[in-house]
Amino acid sequence: MLRSGLLALTSLAVSVAVSVAGLAMPATADDSTGPDPAPPGLVVTEDGGSFYLDEWGPPPSTPTVTSRSVATALASYTEADAFALHSRPGAAQKIFLDFDGGSLLSTNSWLLQGLSTLLFPGWSLDGSAAFSDSERATVIEVWARMAEDFAPFDIDVTTEEPASGGLFRSSSGDTSYGTRVAFSSGTSISAALCRSACGGLAWIGTFDAILSGGETRSPAWVFPSSLGNRAKSMAEAGSHEAGHTLGLGHDGTTTSGYYGGTSLWGPLMGSPYSAGVTQWSKGDYANANNHEDDLAVAQTNGVTLRADEAGDSVATAVPLAALSGGRGVITTRDDEDWITVTDCSGTVTVHADPASVGGNLDIGLELRGPTGTLITSAATATNRMTSGVTGLDAGFSRTLSGGPYHVVVKGIGSGTTSPSTWPSIGYDDYGSLGAYRLTVTGCSAGEVPPGDDPPGDEPPVVGPPPTTTATRPGAPSRPRALPGTRGGIRTIVARWTPPAVTGGTSITGYQITAYRIGVTGRVVARASARTLAAGTHRVSLRLPRGRWVVRVRARNAVGWGPLSAASARVVPR
């Protein structure tokens, strides 16, 4: 099977990096006189670019699986559709999983890092250009796992190559872009780029880089043979390399460049191949060497969080019928989905399941009364068993009458949350994000009965995204941010004007997010996003001491548009 599209040419001239046998050398420092040594595997090129050369060590000796049979969970997907899958059709940003190989053109930047061939092979277990049913099944599983990793973001993880130009950003006004993750068998690529000593490589922070000449610093590479050709490991490597393109560094410890985690949990930007649950992280584990906020950093490199399907209060709760099939997504540790049920009678049973393949969300459930008073809650203890992880789901039964009642779904941690001890026992709630499926019986209004499809997963979307006459709106104006009134609660006040491009339909709301800027100019924290009504163009934000910028995005009937440019830095008062 041959890839239909070629990587685009670029007119950008790139200087040849200092090399040994064609390979740019990892950045180093003199321990006695220079700055701290660069992270392991970081390669800096003479033109100012940089990429990670990943050496994860040997894969686990046996495959690791999640809480239920992968084969059963993937039964609703067919091998025939393996190369037409979309996790979020219509999203402007994309991660394309390229399994069938292709051709680079002569100005691709990897050619300056030791690569001497224009052709690169795809992934194969048997050396055949055709994909067997078992190979297609692996492709589907890799896609499902990576789709769950990126579920909090407004990104389409797809196995169908986007149209020409859809994987690079040609100008500041280009809102359709992304990254290519190439899974390549054999040793021809890895031998040239890392002397067959790495499991993958990726340029850093290129997801939204403006490359007017084409898809130059691409693809991100994964070499499945170094990972035992196991779907779980291939998916985690794919998310890791895509994470580099979103600006993310490595999660390691004071003694290791990569943290593998425990049998229960590991960080995606480490080497979590033996861990049951793998999540995004901000270094909340013992002896962490990187406290980078993965979600915040990714959002400064061209992606946004997906729109919230349910509010976080009685006033913003949505009926269960508003969730297609009872499905939703938890996008941040502060995200709570409040879902209303009514006309209840007798024993009411509520259950929520995470994604059935590679679930990242550990679910906590609450039942609240008409005014929000807590009635009961449920959270199942997670355990790593021989067959996988159990306890990511949650459920309860309660005798109820009438309504309305509110079911609250949120992400939780497991075990102790003390940074000095929890990695050996559990994990915190930072990366407990992803898809869920909520089922309720005993309340007739809006009831979603249990089904046979894989719980927690959105239905497989096959084929190209649907066409529509409307499009997502453009970005609002750059916000103007000023300190709040002196002497009161520490705040800033932000103002903006609506986007010039509305997408052919009315603006239905705005979302504003504040980012704290560290002394080096990088984002070190992100405040919870606030969703606002369509007529709102001014808001006061309560923020801690520090230097902050704000960005705003608009929503219409199609979805959220891109974030605005960041405001000038402002200190709350």
| pLDDT on residue 429 | 94
Report percent pLDDT > 90 for the chain.
55
Of 33-37, 169-173, 555-559, give the range with the top mean pLDDT: 169-173
Report percent pLDDT > 70 for the chain.
83
**Mean per-residue pLDDT of the chain:** 83
**What are residue 190's phi and psi, to 5 degrees?**
-65, -35
CATH assignment, 318-441: 2.60.120.380
Locate the domains of the chain by residue range: 42-301, 318-441, 480-563
pLDDT over 70 (residue 352): yes
Strand, coil or helix: what is 225?
helix
| pLDDT on residue 553 | 87
| pLDDT on residue 69 | 52
Q: Render pLDDT for 212-236 as a digit per residue (tens, 0 to 9).
A: 778 889 999 999 999 999 999 999 9
CB 121 within 8 A of CB 188: yes
Strand, coil or helix: what is 561?
coil
Query: How far apart (Å, rounded) are the C-alpha atoms in residues 337 and 25?
Result: 48
**Closest alpha carbon to 455 in 388, 343, 361, 336:** 361
Confidence label for 72 from pLDDT (cuts 50, 70 and 90): low
| pLDDT on residue 39 | 66
| pLDDT on residue 10 | 30
pLDDT over 50 (residue 26): no
Compute the average pLDDT of residues 451-458.
Answer: 44
| pLDDT on residue 545 | 86
Confidence label for 455 from pLDDT (cuts 50, 70 and 90): very low
Q: Render pLDDT for 500-542 as a digit per residue (tens, 0 to 9).
A: 999 888 898 898 988 888 877 767 677 767 878 888 999 999 8
| pLDDT on residue 543 | 87
Confidence label for 58 from pLDDT (cuts 50, 70 and 90): low
| pLDDT on residue 60 | 60
Q: How far is CA 440 from CA 337, 351, 406, 446, 484, in A?
A: 15, 7, 12, 9, 45
| pLDDT on residue 272 | 94
pLDDT over 50 (residue 13): no
More reliable by pLDDT, 441 or 21:
441
pLDDT over 50 (residue 465): no
pLDDT over 60 (residue 474): yes
Confidence label for 469 from pLDDT (cuts 50, 70 and 90): low
Q: Render pLDDT for 30-55 as a digit per residue (tens, 0 to 9).
A: 333 333 445 668 888 877 789 999 98
| pLDDT on residue 4 | 34
Compute the average pLDDT of residues 73-77.
Answer: 69
3-state secondary structure string across 483-543: ECCCCCCCEEEEECCCCCCCCCCCCCEEEEEEEEECCCCCEEEECCCEEEECCCCEEEEEC
Q: Render pLDDT for 261-301 as a digit per residue (tens, 0 to 9).
A: 988 999 999 999 989 999 999 999 989 999 999 999 999 99
Q: Render pLDDT for 404-433 as a digit per residue (tens, 0 to 9).
A: 999 999 999 987 545 454 445 679 999 999
More reliable by pLDDT, 141 or 13:
141
* Identity of the amino acid at 388: G
Least confident of 27-31, 139-143, 361-365, 524-528: 27-31
- For residues 416, 420, 424, 428, the Cα torsion angle rounded to the nearest 10 degrees is 50
Q: Which CATH number fits domain 480-563: 3.40.50.920, 3.30.1280.10, 2.60.40.420, 2.60.40.10?
A: 2.60.40.10
Tokens, residue 288: 């962490």
Compute the average pLDDT of residues 561-570.
Answer: 87
| pLDDT on residue 497 | 94
Has this prediction a pTM greater than 0.85?
A: no
| pLDDT on residue 62 | 53
∠ Cα 240 140 130 (to 5°) = 110
